[in-house]
């Protein structure tokens, strides 16, 4: 599967929604910095991605610094209210700050996103830009069997349905953040699911990434940032 990453990324990016200007700014920033500094702000979906991304970059001959402010179950709302998170953003001399929302919030209704997610996206994006970094979104994946904990809202939910809602939610967040780039990790997962290779991406809970899922996610980030 990993040998197919460049093809997966090419196909996914052909339908990705982001500003070409912002993507150009991102690539120029990373391409002209000797040792790019990248910070992940999120929760357990991001726990292992920074370390694997750093390893992949090292294997390809690149020097990067990748760190994370990740707390289990945290939302961007919690991060926006956290002095620890805000201080890390302000004082880290980052080139890129990756924002990853709680796994369900971007998939909720527009009204709920407007209440619970969008104001905090604005806050964090403003802090990131003020610190001189480029905000980027980590588009996550639908749960293996859809959002089972919200069956009253999403009856007969599936991975595909939830993934579609997540794409909508993250694209909305990107616009609010000034057309920030969205790394289409979830769409790469969806391609694997469509080919019958999705189960191995998930851990036993059907939500968090397995070792294979982390590897795929990190490789999508690497190729999005630096090219294949």
pLDDT tens digit string along 145-197? 999 889 888 999 999 999 999 999 999 999 999 999 999 999 999 999 999 99
Dig out the tokens for 67 from the structure: 């760190």
Q: How confident is the model at residue 15 (pLDDT cuts 50, 70, 90)?
A: very low
Residues 6+ apart with CB under 8 A from 108: 116, 153, 165, 169
Residues 6+ apart with CB under 8 A from 171: 17, 182
Task: Say how far apart CA 199 and CA 220 lie, in whole Å.
Answer: 18
> Which of 26-30, 104-108, 161-165, 192-196 has the least mean pLDDT?
26-30
Instruction: Please report, for residues 40, 129, 187, the alpha-carbon distance to residue 191 in angstroms, rounded to integers and kept in the order given.
Output: 24, 32, 6
| Beta strands at 37-42 and 134-138: parallel, antiparallel or unpaired | unpaired
Judge whether residue 199 has pLDDT over 70.
yes
The predicted pLDDT at position 116 comes to 98
CA-derived radius of gyration, the chain = 16
Dig out the tokens for 153 from the structure: 């809202």
Query: Is the distance from CB of 169 to CB of 121 less than 8 angstroms?
Result: no
Task: Say how far apart CA 137 and CA 159 lie, in whole Å.
Answer: 20
Note the helical H segments in the chain: 5-13, 20-31, 49-59, 76-80, 83-91, 110-116, 118-130, 159-176, 185-194, 211-226
Q: What's the domain range around 221? A: 2-8+17-226
Q: Write down the residue that tokens 């760190």 correspond to.
A: 67
Q: Enter the pTM of the model.
A: 0.91
Residue 200 sits in a domain whose CATH number is: 3.40.50.1110
Task: Say how far apart CA 164 and CA 154 lie, in whole Å.
Answer: 13
Question: What's the structural domain count of the chain?
Answer: 1
pLDDT in tens, 120-154: 999 999 999 999 999 999 999 999 999 988 988 89
pLDDT in tens, 51-96: 999 999 999 999 999 999 999 999 999 999 999 999 999 999 999 9
Query: Is the distance from CB of 132 to CB of 97 less than 8 angstroms?
Result: no
Task: Say how far apart CA 197 and CA 4 lie, in whole Å.
Answer: 12
């Amino acid at each position: 599967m990993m040998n197919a990453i460049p093809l997966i990324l090419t196909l996914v990016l052909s339908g990705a929604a982001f500003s070409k200007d912002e993507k150009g700014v991102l690539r120029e920033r990373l391409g002209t910095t000797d040792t790019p500094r990248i910070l992940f702000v999120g929760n357990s979906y991001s726990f292992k991605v920074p370390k694997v991304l750093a390893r992949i970059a090292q294997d390809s001959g690149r020097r990067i610094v990748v760190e994370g402010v990740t707390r289990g179950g945290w939302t961007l709302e919690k991060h926006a209210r956290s002095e620890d998170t805000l201080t890390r953003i302000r004082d880290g001399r980052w080139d890129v700050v990756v924002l990853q929302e709680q796994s369900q919030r971007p998939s909720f209704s527009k009204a709920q996103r407007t209440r619970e997610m969008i104001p905090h996206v604005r806050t964090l994006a403003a802090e990131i830009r003020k610190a001189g970094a480029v905000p980027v979104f980590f588009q996550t994946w639908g749960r293996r069997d859809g959002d089972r904990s919200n069956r009253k809202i999403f009856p007969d939910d599936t991975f595909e349905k939830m993934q579609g809602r997540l794409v909508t939610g993250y694209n909305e967040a990107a616009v609010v953040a000034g057309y920030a780039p969205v790394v289409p990790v979830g769409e790469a997962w969806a391609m694997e699911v469509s080919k019958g290779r999705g189960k191995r991406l998930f851990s036993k809970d059907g939500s968090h990434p397995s070792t294979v899922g982390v590897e795929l996610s990190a490789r999508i980030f690497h190729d999005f940032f630096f090219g294949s």
